[in-house]
Structure 1
């Protein structure tokens, strides 16, 4: 999609239709494959493939929604090998010949992290009793064997030369807090023998094990304070290339691939530094060479073959796209775009590009924010400002084209994304410093950015709003439960009561809920001081709608009825759902209503003075 200088408002329909999502990119057979979610499509998420011989095409059945609910957030929900698609749909595992039509049921359960071994499929299977690593032969009857069992959590089954590697973490930890890498002797169709732990444990998150072409086991550990790459040669563990940046993403999902191996011995890795991602090549001697690419955001799904790497990249002027990068020569590399959102109505539309803002807060910390000015503004713009608190709260600002943000900037709003305390991209200490301070430090950081914009003459009092989703919704609600710069809050899929949430959240996230709580506590209706808009899906299993409905009832009984939009059959991810347009329209109407009320109040004040 070409972004140029044509001035236009981004309509709701255009913002939604252009928000195509690409995920879980991986190599298979002689091509690359990925999940493609088209918000305006009826069939949901499809597996799409690209091969040099026949280009791009869908390879999953029509009207079949590919997706895994393993560990609540999914991941690794398909793989392609030997002309067969293996995929997860709901609580079932299927396989299907690419040249056929019928899906064959392989097994029941909650599966994820599908991986191809030597003549077999490996996967994680979750139940309320715990996790298993299972194996299924690629051909013949789909007989499923259990290799490893745990009452807690398992991930990343990765076969190597005579061995199997995997990750494990306890029910008292999140994988970004304490995760272990294990390995054991293993031959295909055999049993796991003599398992040993290589890395990880309390205070160390070791993730993404992967066997290199040299026979060594590689993994990413944050033992230095940053997620960096390490290598185990069978005897010792050594750092591959120390980098002051994150060489892995916070593992909310299974199946991430933040690094991989070229066939000439070089390693390719994604590095996150604050809100920016970059691609680097690590030479055999440990030298780190940056790759000059037109992307500032790269998802943790690299698929390598030969001297090429496929990736999902984006920038402030390019929505996420699937690209093939030839690294035979990285000065400069050759880039071929395999898939990108195409929506003619937005072709050539001018967009707002962000400015990085640094604001110093109490204790001498700096908070980084990305400021998107109104699309057609001048250098001295003054506008209503929407401060966005990202979800997670371990997520981070994404330096990429977001058409739903452009929906607001094209209407004269400024949008500001804040990397508050707890965000990923700043090291382990920064990430875990929000524990026990949730609803306090995150709120203070967002407020500090808002106050800075007010004092800098970018916004007027009464025209600064805060908006957040999931954990960010909790932040937004607490921000208007105290005196501060925000005139209103929009809370999408919000967490309301951390204690109750800890009892109702899926088992994967219970440890997170327990560690975060202890700061501001539950959102109390009696403390809300500004108008709020509550948007929630009725099928949300991560943050149940009951808590939001109860808050709305309490606010109504106090005479400050909130605006509420309940979305039938929508889960936790409203922005990528089929009701995303309704949510955008409600949010815009809410801000305009607050601005209108403020204008009327101001007019009444002037009339009284006369």
Structure 2
């Protein structure tokens, strides 16, 4: 649902009725709507639509197919259209004809185009790359209604991810590049590229979707940037001299959807005690003032007791630590000891998020501790760390999760025989591999899991195919014959990212071997079980899974204690 906010009216429904806005471009979508001269342009999985300025009448289908990355131009809407042959940069005239013009075509991929004064900028990457590995920023001369001329590559290429180009008020082109090991902000003045403010932090998110915006320009010349350091985000202001000053805010997680209006910065932000909120941060004279525009959680949950995390650094190798967020059971006193759920995030280039997660609270409010692990390959720690899992998938991620579990067992916070691992998507693969190897895990839950990296590389949507090829080469297919701990597989029948066939085959193999495994197949559910209409059913099944193991787990607990002497 699309909503509209004004200071006078507050939040009001602005979206077309009985219409689900969302883009199928690159499988993950993004950039699903734009407003040009008070006229709404939006997409769903069937194509691009326009709505009259008065908001009345039916939506008009302008172009069918996978369209996204919409941005308002002058008298036109610009965007990305995905076809069977690759990607196209398109311009759609706002005149009555709604004529669609193809500005550029590629067998690879395009990012959201950005119109500037007499120019158009965009990012692009090859079909055998991911945008966080090798991505280029391009610019061309362009006038609305015309064509692209004098195309020039500004930055990026093999070994460099250059993303999020945006025209500044000074007429220069800004973008984010990891050429120095971290995604930092750069500026191109038409002749040379200059670093804006070198930071040992990520100034952009891994671009899974189109339309990300990690920075914006204040009217006093400063640049507002969302910066990630490990699991923690903060808002930073960069002045003309390149000095970066953090803004004191009660938020630790911010999505890459920054919008600036004058001296106000709009964010989607959260903290360990507040679920995602749309906020306006007013940065005039004096201390920043936060205005909450909309909240994601029901009001009845705002004052609910929650578990807040401790940030851990666990030594996993002689020269490397891993970061984790440990949530104790809700209301636990100091010295607590509890069953533990180790969570491997998806991606695997994603990261732990330092924000209120009601799924975490579901388990902590029922006596479990939960720990989120930023294993090798996670975003937030620089380019080398992010790429280090290539060819090592199923080994190093499992090793890091195991090291965190063993650390918490050694400190006495986790209970032997009651340590579980769960993950979704790529994290589901990690969880399954973890119970096929030696370690402390008594059971695993795998949601929307990848089972066979080779088959996944052949069936995954075009956008993620290069990622699948680079990750594989580690532990390989999940070996059903080596799984001797109870496994719960949860999967949607409509999953197009990781199809259900491999999970069904794994479940059948476990049954044939009389090994402990259960499959919960969810009809009409896609890749994102947590946001589906069957989410509570999946949580209840996971809880029952752990409780059944705890009830039957004395023998494993005794075996682990005898082997480890603790």
TM-score greater than 0.5 by the shorter chain: yes
CA contact (8 A) 1:454 1:460 kept: yes
Q: Counterparts of 2:296 and 2:110 in 1: how far apart (Å)?
A: 35
Which residue matches 1:92? 47
Structure 2 counterparts to residues 38-437 of structure 1, below 5 A:
46-97=1-52, 99-329=55-285, 331-437=286-392
Is the aligned partner of 1:587 residue 2:542?
yes
Partner residue in 2 for 1:573: 528
Distance 1:246 1:367 in 2: 17
Native 8 Å contact 1:482 1:529 kept in 2:
no
Show the counterpart of 2:563: none
* Aligned match of 1:31: none
Aligned-residue RMSD, C-alpha: 1.3
Per-residue CA deviation, residues 142-183 of structure 1 (Å, 9 max, x unaligned), is 110000100111112111111110111001100000000000
2 CA distance for matches of 1:386 and 1:425? 23
364-373 vs 91-100, which moves further? 91-100
Contact 2:36 2:77 in 1 (8 A): no
1:183 counterpart SS class: strand
Moved more, 347-356 or 583-592: 347-356
Between the aligned partners of 1:601 and 1:420, the Cα distance in structure 2 is 26
Question: Counterparts of 2:554 and 2:12 in 1: how far apart (Å)?
Answer: 52
Relative to structure 1, is the Cα distance of residues 439 and 351 closer, same or farther in structure 2, using a 3 angstrom cutoff? Answer: same
**2:513 aligns with one of 550, 553, 558:** 558
- Bigger Cα displacement from structure 2, 526-535 vs 340-349: 340-349
Match of 1:450 in 2: 405
Contact 1:61–1:101 (8 Å) recurs in 2: no
Number of residues paired by the alignment?
Answer: 558
3-state DSSP of counterpart to 2:417? coil
Trace 1:475-514 onto structure 2 (pairs within 5 A): 475-514=430-469
1:487-521 Cα deviation digits (max 9, x unpaired): 00000000000000000000000000000000000
Q: SS at 1:552's partner residue? A: helix
The structure-2 alpha-carbon separation of the partners of 1:355 and 1:601, relative to structure 1 and needing over 3 Å to count, comes to closer
Distance 1:349 1:187 in 2: 54
User: Which of residues 488, 498, 502 is equivalent to 1:547?
Assistant: 502
Q: For 1:32-59, what per-residue CA distance to the aligned partner results, in whole angstroms no more than 9, with x for missing partners?
A: xxxxxxxxxxxxxx11111123211121
Give, in angstroms, the shift of residue 81 of structure 1. 2.7
**How far has the Cα of 1:348 moved from its partner?**
2.1
Gaps of 5+ in 1: 1-45, 604-610
Map of 1:26 onto structure 2: none
Preserved CA contact (<8 Å) 1:173 1:512 = yes
- Structure 2 CA distance, aligned partners of 1:572 and 1:126? 20
| Paired position in structure 1 for 2:561 | none
Normalised by the length of structure 2, the TM-score is 0.97
The equivalent residue for 2:564 is none
Report if the CA contact (8 A) 1:56-1:338 is conserved.
yes
Separation of aligned partners in 2, 1:446 and 1:316: 22
Once residues 256 and 101 of structure 2 are traced to their aligned partners in structure 1, the CA distance between those partners, rounded to angstroms, is 29
Measured against aligned partners, the alpha-carbon deviations of 1:255-285 in whole angstroms (never above 9, x if no partner) come to: 0000011112111000000000000111112
Q: Distance in 2 between matches of 1:184 and 1:243?
A: 29
1:341 to partner: Cα distance: 2.8
Higher relative contact order (CA 8 A, sep 6+): 1
Go from structure 1 to structure 2 and tell me whether the alpha carbon gap of 1:601 and 1:490 turns closer, same or farther (over 3 Å shift). closer
State the Cα deviation string for residues 77-100 of structure 1 (Å, max 9, x = none): 111232211111112100113532
Q: Distance in 2 between matches of 1:490 and 1:63?
A: 35
Shift of residue 345, structure 1, vs aligned partner: 3.8
SS at match of 1:503: helix
SS of the counterpart of 2:25? coil
Contact 2:416 2:557 in 1 (8 A): no
Pair 1:96–1:303, CA change in 2 (3 A)? same
Task: Please state how far the C-alpha of 1:600 moved relative to its aligned partner.
Answer: 8.1
Once the two structures are TM-superposed, the CA of residue 564 in structure 1 deviates from its matched residue by: 1.0
Contact 2:47 2:67 in 1 (8 A): yes
Cα–Cα, structure 1 residues 347 and 249, in superposed 2: closer, same or farther, change >3 Å? closer
The counterpart of 2:416, out of the listed 461, 478, 487, is 461
Whole-Å separation in 1 of the counterparts to 2:86 and 2:516: 42
CA distance in 2 between counterparts of 1:517 and 1:107 reads: 37
Contact 2:417 2:557 in 1 (8 A): no
Q: CA deviation at 1:217?
A: 0.3
